[in-house]
Amino acid sequence: MARLVMKFGGTSVADLDRIRNVARHVKREVDAGHQVAVVVSAMSGKTNELVALCRGASILHDAREYDAVVASGEQVTSGLLAIALQAIGVDARSWQGWQLPIRTDGAHGAARIESIDGTRVIEQMEAGRVAVVAGFQGIGPDGRISTLGRGGSDTSAVAVAAAIRADRCDIYTDVDGVYTTDPRMVPKARRLDKVSFEEMLEMASLGSKVLQVRSVELAMVHGVRTFVRSSFEDPENPKTQPNGDPFGTLICDEDEIVEQEVVTGIAYSKDEAQISIRRVADQPGIAASVFVPLAEANINVDMIVQNVASNGAETDITFTVPAADYERAMKVIEDRKAEIGYLLLEGSTGVCKVSVIGVGMRSHAGVAAQAFKALAAKGINIRAITTSEIKISVLIEDVYTELAVRTLHSVYGLDKG
């Protein structure tokens, strides 16, 4: 018998038929003798609808009232799933985030979980009852409903799993696992049986949409083994691997992965903008005069490249920001032209970040050189480069995104099963 948390995303609970399908997935695990808690998202499209209503009521709305409105989507889903489970003979009741409670900080609309009391969920499980928890929501220090930001139900599920010391957290979604890259772009992309927490964290932060970044962070910190699988399989006859394990991708500690590939996957993000500040003085304090104001404006800076002129007196600084923050970032730099002392400010949104990820890169030389050589052979110019122990990211023109992803996927042998 295992203790499981099962999380179902918006497409998995999009309508009553799919909610009934989810109930059958839950019943399968209960019938197998497992103790089960479920975390659900709002029905597909519902959160967008609620956000639009808030904006329609007032552009400058109260963040606390916004949370009260948008959290209702998960409340509806949790109640409907509890009803559907009861209808097929599974004892269940719904729980809202504040009832457990899931305590968060006071950043309404983008709160972070501070603690969860798993006592009530454990009591329900030990009594043979399924606890259906509304994801995405908690309770802030002010005693009001708070929400965790987009994708927050993944974070709720992993946090609940950590709080109740679950054996595994199963994330059910519309794909059957984590792939070496986007299979819509590269038909030869392969599903991965296992991915380390570190690799998944990089993949999630660099463009993979399978899991929310904070959920992977939590899973890594608390050692929550997380399994990504499809909710659209036949609940009574799910696909299994040759060893009998369920079909999907296990996200786990690196020690669990016996044969580690040098490169695990290729991620890409088109949500990038490049800003270049030309001919600023090469002296202490200049970088701070650029990046401190951006930080104060809550603009996240990613890739940074600095080129010093041959005279040693001037430098160019190039960096990337999320495309949604491009206009704000340009305005911040323009407003500080006198302080920074640059000659020219340039920017572009027509860029894409492509990343090569793999923990095996730690012990293998020449991985970066392979990427640069392969891209050069295809005539793809690299605008900026960043690296870490397990990642290489390059910034290129977005028109070359598909060519770059396909090329790198092939050069590292990821399309060979």
Cis peptide upstream of residue 101 (ω within 30 degrees of 0): yes
- Residues 231 and 12: beta-carbon distance below 8 Å: yes
Determine contact, residues 150/27, Cβ cutoff 8 Å.
no
Instruction: Compute CA 167 distance to the chain's CA centroid, rounded to the nearest angstrom.
Output: 22
Is 36 within 8 Å of 200 (Cβ atoms)? no
Q: Is 155 annotated as a binding residue?
A: no
Token pair in block for residue 322: 């999320």
Find out whether 70 is annotated in a ligand binding site: no
Angle between helices 213-222 and 152-163 (to 10 degrees): 10
The annotation status of 55 as a binding-site residue, yes or no, is no
- Find out whether 184 is annotated in a ligand binding site: yes
Q: 246 with 211: CB under 8 angstroms?
A: no
Tell me the two tokens of residue 355: 């990343």
Q: Known binder of ligand: residue 74?
A: yes
Secondary structure letter of residue 300 according to DSSP: P
| CA 304, chain centre distance (Å) | 23
Question: 319 - beta bridge partners?
Answer: 275, 304
378 is in an annotated binding site: no
Residue 240 near residue 246 (C-beta atoms within 8 A): yes
Distance (Å, rounded) from C-alpha 276 to C-alpha 352? 16
Q: Is 174 annotated as a binding residue?
A: yes
Question: What is the residue whose two structure tokens read 């696992």?
Answer: 177
Coil, strand or helix: which one is 123?
helix
Which of 172, 169, 219 minimizes the C-alpha distance to 198? 219
Q: Is 105 annotated as a binding residue?
A: no
Distances (CA, A) of 278 to 284, 309, 382: 16, 10, 18
Q: Is 66 annotated as a binding residue?
A: no
The answer to whether 258 and 188 are in contact (CB under 8 A) is no
Q: What are phi and psi of 182, to 5 degrees?
A: -65, 110
Q: Is 47 annotated as a binding residue?
A: yes
DSSP tag of 87: H
Annotated binding site for ATP: 7-10, 173-174, 179, 184, 209-210
Annotated binding site: 7-10, 47, 74, 173-174, 179, 184, 209-210
Annotated binding site for substrate: 47, 74
